Structure 1
Amino acid sequence: MWLVLCNPGDQAARWVCTGLRERGPTPVELVDAEMLTRSVRSAHSIEEGPARFETTLPDGRVLASDDVDGVLNRLTYAPVGHLVFASVTDSCYAMAEMSALVLSWLQCLAPVSVNRPSPLGLSGPWRSPAEWSLLAAGAGLRVAPLRLSGESPTTARNPVDRTVVVLGEHVFGGEAVPGLVPGCRRLARGAGADLLGVDLELDDRHGARFAGATLLPDLRIAGPPLIARLHTYLTRLPARPW
Structure 2
Amino acid sequence: MNDVTRIDYTGTGLSEDEVAATPWVQAKRWVDDAVERSGAQADVPEPHALSVATVDQNGLPNVRTVLMRFFDERGPGFLTNTLSTKGAELADNRGIAASLTWPSMFRAIRFRGQSVLLDRNEVSDYFGSRPWGSRISAWASQQSQPVASRAELETAYERYAARWPDRGQSDDVPVPDFWGGYRITCTEVEFWGGRTNRLHDRLVFTRVREGSLDDASAWSLSRRQP
Tell me if TM exceeds 0.5. Answer: no
More strand by share: 2
More helix by share: 1
Q: Which of structures 1 and 2 has the larger relative contact order (alpha carbons within 8 angstroms, sep 6+)?
A: 2
Normalization by structure 2: what TM-score?
A: 0.23
